[in-house]
Structure 1
């Protein structure tokens, strides 16, 4: 039997509201352009035929309240406030009307992005990995179990940088609903407990610099906070 030649990082655990156990993170899927106004501010259009995705490594997971260094390789580091869906049961080729059975809970998330690298990749028609899939780029709040969160609809989603409100929208503005996203993604992956889905960001994204403090929330969920430290 093979033994590992070196130690590997422990599985990230996300706190669950009111519980002592942690939610172990397996994979991170992210929905692109799921708010029409955000797609427009990025100079793109929403694909209304089907959603599309990118991924982040588990090493991207960072708890709310953290201080993270300004990342290397970028001069245009952006925040993106999002609803996160935590999967809690196996799901493969599930119909939309049954997809809720796979949802463990919900959280606030920040999809931190090296925007200049993303824009350069778009011009060259290259993948977004350098822009999206890097350490400490998926911030997450405490998870609230699905049974303790109302049906998704008019909940406000917002983000401030310092005292300035930057993003202010509602979950009902999502192009693709959570049931549609879970069902569609399950056509391509065997979704499993530990999988997280960042569901896209509303308009108002923008840059942050060292010293900036962000705070955001979604009605009914624990709020999220993040401070940008000096560059590495």
Structure 2
């Protein structure tokens, strides 16, 4: 099952997509005001089955996708928590050691934009970079989970995330990662939230990113140092994860920082991202 939000920024409608190739989604406005934490907290198997049955029976209005703006599939998250250096090949390309524990940082919630929205290079930026990532969307409160396996019960689903980063500000301006990660538009998300039951193995997904049609990243979640379950369990020992929170789980090799010549993003560039079964993003690059 795929959830998405359709419409102008700030006025998106919650919607359900029954298949990846459908030409229209189903408007869930009569069921929930938005795809947010309150809705995700109720999204158990019975609720999902009921929504699918009602959609197939024609109970919900249809929203054509052609020409429609697709927003981020989760309304402004309470938290965006990120894991750095979580792929062996990415750690190697940046010349850093494999971390003994997950590297944790945060992004501002208002960095989240839609999967086809413009990404803005900040004023004064010289080193804006890309990072395709598997995003985990939380569906139940996670506080001191007692086992790695318990993470399964708190995951609502998965999406594509682009952890856009300004490397100079992240690494050369005092060592505080957040200020190189929290610029406006720095977290495109979507197009869909795919429920966890539809993702057979989150550790067997191919991730890809190209810039202007040139392949840059081509990796697999199998190369994660800390897998999805471990990351969610680990975070729950340090903070409370709430329904609607988003966890970015790291990026494979191929970022501009680790590429010869360091081809940083420029206005006019176009980034295209995909993850198996989770759809694709196409993001034009502009300037703030």
**2:96 equivalent to 1:39:** no
CA shift in 2, pair 1:14/1:91, >3 Å: farther
Specify the SS of the correspondent of 2:142: coil
Aligned equivalent of 1:219, options 255, 276, 286: 276
- Structure 2 unaligned residues grouped into runs of 5+: 1-9, 19-25, 29-33, 36-73, 257-263
Query: Does structure 1 conserve the Cα–Cα contact (< 8 Å) formed by 2:203 and 2:227?
Result: no
- Distance between the aligned counterparts of 1:11 and 1:55, measured in 2? 26
Aligned equivalent of 2:144, options 73, 85, 93: 93
Larger of the two Rg values belongs to structure: 2
- Distance between the aligned counterparts of 2:16 and 2:111, measured in 1? 18
- Distance between the aligned counterparts of 2:17 and 2:129, measured in 1? 28
Aligned equivalent of 2:203, options 153, 157, 161: 153
Greater CA drift, 145-154 or 213-222: 145-154
**2:159 equivalent to 1:110:** no
Partner of 2:266: 209
Q: What's the TM-score once normalised by structure 1's chain length? A: 0.88
Aligned equivalent of 1:134, options 183, 197, 207: 183
CA deviations 1:184-224 (Å, max 9, x no partner) are: 00001111101100000000001211111111111111212
CA shift in 2, pair 1:146/1:17, >3 Å: farther
- Structure 1 unaligned residues grouped into runs of 5+: 1-9
Name the one with the larger strand percent: 1
Q: What's the TM-score once normalised by structure 2's chain length? A: 0.71
Aligned equivalent of 2:110, options 51, 59, 69: 59
Q: Which has the higher contact order (CA 8 A, sep 6+)?
A: 1
Tell me the CA shift for residue 147 of structure 1.
1.1
Greater CA drift, 128-137 or 12-21: 12-21
Instruction: Tell me how large the CA RMSD over aligned residues is.
Output: 2.1
